[in-house]
Structure 1
Amino acid sequence: MKNIQLLSGIALIALSFTSCKDEKQEKAQKTIDAYVAYVDSVKNVKADDLKADWKDVEAEYDRRAENAQLALADIKDNAAETERINASKTKYEEFKNEMTTVFAPPAPSPKQQLRNALFGEGKIGDDMSFSWVNAQNIHSVYQQFVHTVEDNKDSYSREDWDEIKVLYEALDSRKNTVEKEGLSSEDNRKIAGLKVKFAPMYTVNRMGAKSEENREAKK
């Protein structure tokens, strides 16, 4: 009798263990299913709607992806589920790259690209404000401007040179203000040297660009 009770007890423990194991595997399966479904659902959302909440989308994806990966350990034969997870990862990464391109700001216009090169990214916009130029940095601003023009003078079009002239005159106008705000004589001297370098470079190369355009037009 005692042996029967002992065997019954062992059977109950084994049954309980199997039931617990099945429940754990079922939960793991649902976690993986939820991950795969999330990736598919995100791909069906309009780009405009995604853009505003993209950080939240990525955070939720990371959470679900991590949970799905951990869930594999609770599935005995998980080759098929591993393949599903990897397929969803690939699908999401491709979608993420696509959205990165969609969400990217439009490329700056050629005129803005020129301004960025001459003064730094976003320093000069459509308002043409030079208020950020002061007695402490104006020499370095002239330096970057003149050296950039010198490095790229052979590639500028006539329109580029016209824009360069407008920008140069605006910088000169700012210098008149800065001189009253403590511009050092040393920096003033260095700026004068840069201006001497720029003037003939502008005149010669703009004339060359115009002549080149005339030759192209005749063709």
Structure 2
Amino acid sequence: MKSTNFFKKHTLMYGASLLLVSAQFACSKTETKDTTATTTTTTQTSDQAYDDYKNYVTQMETDVRGGWDSTATDWDTRMETARTDYDQRYNAVNQYAGEFDDTRRTEYEDLQSRWNTAWTTREQQYNTWKQTNQSGGKAMTKVDMSSMDVKKVPTYTATNIRTAYEEFVAHVEANKSNYTNDDWKMVEMYWDQLDDRKNAIQSQLSDKDKWEIAKAKTKYQTMKAGSKIGNTASNVGSETKEAGKDLSNSKVGEATKDAGKAVGNTAKKAGQKIGDVVKDND
């Protein structure tokens, strides 16, 4: 009788243990499944990332064509958000750029060019708004320089450095009249490091990329020289007027004249470089 009870007792214990193990295994399996499902929903495929990027560029073009909303007062935040949103989408799709076929690669390059055009127009609209939307009688002309972060330069590859040049030139073109001396220092520091990075990966660039980069360099050098001459002459003239001095025969005019010659020489040399690139490609 006791033997029977002993056997029944242990049989119940074993059964309970098996039920407990089964329950834990089922719970663990459910948790694993849930985690996997969560990870899958947050990962974009190449097609999803590309479509997201394409739609964002198209939407920006639509917004720019729609004109500037002068009733809004939060444009500083809007511009920062728009730039951040674009960078996120660009980084998401650019990781797949090496896998694109010729058709998609061509369209991808066109989308980048369309973005640069739309964003330059948007920045011009933004700067106009800042100059006319005065606060306390003083025009708001501070330029967003976050895109000139030199920490990004080492990450550029043969796939995206041409875009980096084009975006750089677009920023300068849209903001050159509002750059302070400190802004120009930041611009030139970024430019120097961008050029060093390009030289480091020169052998990996396509002929088309070399050509477009050469054009961007020519455009930047001309804009930089012309804008800095204008800003310097304007600032000196204003300060002198306040002091009641006559600058009609001052060194400012000579400096401007000499700088003007430098602009012409810079453009001429850059044009020769582009010609050399084409000649080498032939």
Q: Same fold (TM over 0.5)?
A: no
Larger radius of gyration: 1
- TM-score (norm. length: structure 2): 0.33
